[in-house]
Amino acid sequence: MPFQDQRSLRTRLRDDLSHVHERLDSRLSLADLTTGQGLRRFLFAQSFGFRQVMARLDDQDPPATAPLLSRIAEALDADLATLDAPDARDVAGQEDRPEADEPPLSGLAIDYMVLGSGLGTTVLRRSWAEGTDDDVRAAGQYFTLPRPPQPWRDLVMHLGDLPASGDRADRITGDAEQIFEFFATGWDRSGDIRVRTASAPKGDATRDPTNP
């Protein structure tokens, strides 16, 4: 008889993904959000992760957070432009595009990541708000985007009613882990982003010498 996981899907997501969550948090925590360099890297990682998700939406299983996802991506694009940094669409390569036979992402996995990220953003907003640099302060669309907590609470209740076993649960858990990896890749790529110098034309770019 197949093993039946007695946990809820909510508990499985929390338990099974704790290692990738902690690994991503340890990377993003390296960014000093009060400096242009640190904020650029953080925002680029977010832009890359969310754009990868948007490239893999399922028309048959759309996330409830699709409108919020679009607003988040637009806010990140605007903030990166304020900091004279590219957004993820400018640097994504062929290897970042979905394979022709790659299945789209589960809508619930996307909702889990989009709404869950709002909790962390609320905490990080305090760090960003401590910055005194004018450019950092001007790049605040992402951190000031309204992210009410009730949709997250509703999602947690829903996931708590779903079983942790079965094909659907496996898909949601696997897709959520893949999304975590998108953001981790975004952080890794953020070390190579370029910013325009004050004297460079709009289309030219030079590496930020303060970036590793």
Identify the pLDDT of residue 2: 54
Which portions of the chain are predicted below pLDDT 50? 1, 196-212
Q: What does the alpha-carbon distance between residue 93 and residue 209 come to, in Å, rounded to a whole number?
A: 23
Please determine, looking at this structure, whether the domain spanning 36-98+105-192 carries the CATH number 1.20.58.
Answer: no
Q: What does the alpha-carbon distance between residue 151 and residue 65 come to, in Å, rounded to a whole number?
A: 9
Q: Which residues contact 114 (CB under 8 A, 6 or more apart)?
A: 50, 53, 63, 65, 68, 69, 72
Identify the pLDDT of residue 200: 40
Cβ atoms of 83 and 152 within 8 Å: the answer is no
The structure tokens listed for 51 are 């754009």
Domains of the chain by residue range: 36-98+105-192
Identify the pLDDT of residue 203: 36
Q: What is the pTM of this model?
A: 0.86
Identify the pLDDT of residue 72: 98
